[in-house]
Amino acid sequence: MALEETYRAYLQALNERRLGDLAEFVHDTLSYNGEQLTRGEYADLIARDLDAAPDLFYNARIVVATETQVACRILFETTPRGEFLGFAAAGTRLTFAEHVFYEFADKRIKAVTSLIDRHAIQTQLGR
């Protein structure tokens, strides 16, 4: 399976809320924005976002893959129930993008660098 296909299968698992399947896609430990996390901690990070915004859908708009790296622009449209990404956003419909870069080893994620358009969120919240 090409790396882009592996990545799209990972996003599908997230969209289907199959966080138990992360072992198939993520190493036991990984770097997330420079911080070392276990796979469980990474799953908890994702689970918090999904709990705060149950309608969150990972809509990959641009995917570029090499043999060991993936870059993706993900577009989100969601209505959080409470605090989301550090913002008090309950009930506000948000549209924003994430630019995320992955490093893979053995077809599993070993590093993630995530850039979320926080300015777009702030603007929509009137801040």
CATH code assigned at 23: 3.10.450.50
* Mean pLDDT, residues 51-61: 95
- Tens digits of per-residue pLDDT, 58-83? 999 999 999 999 999 999 999 999 88
Nearest by Cα to 98 from 72, 124, 123: 72
> How many domains is the chain partitioned into structurally?
1
Residue of higher predicted confidence among 126 and 30: 30
The phi, psi pair for 73, rounded to 5°, reads -105, 115
The SS3 assignment for 24 reads helix
Structural contact between residues 108 and 68, judged by C-beta atoms closer than 8 angstroms:
no
pLDDT for 22 equals: 97
SS3 5: helix
Which residues form the domain of 34? 3-124
pTM for the whole structure? 0.92
CB atoms within 10 A of CB 104: 21
* Residues 97-115 pLDDT 10s: 999 999 999 999 999 999 9
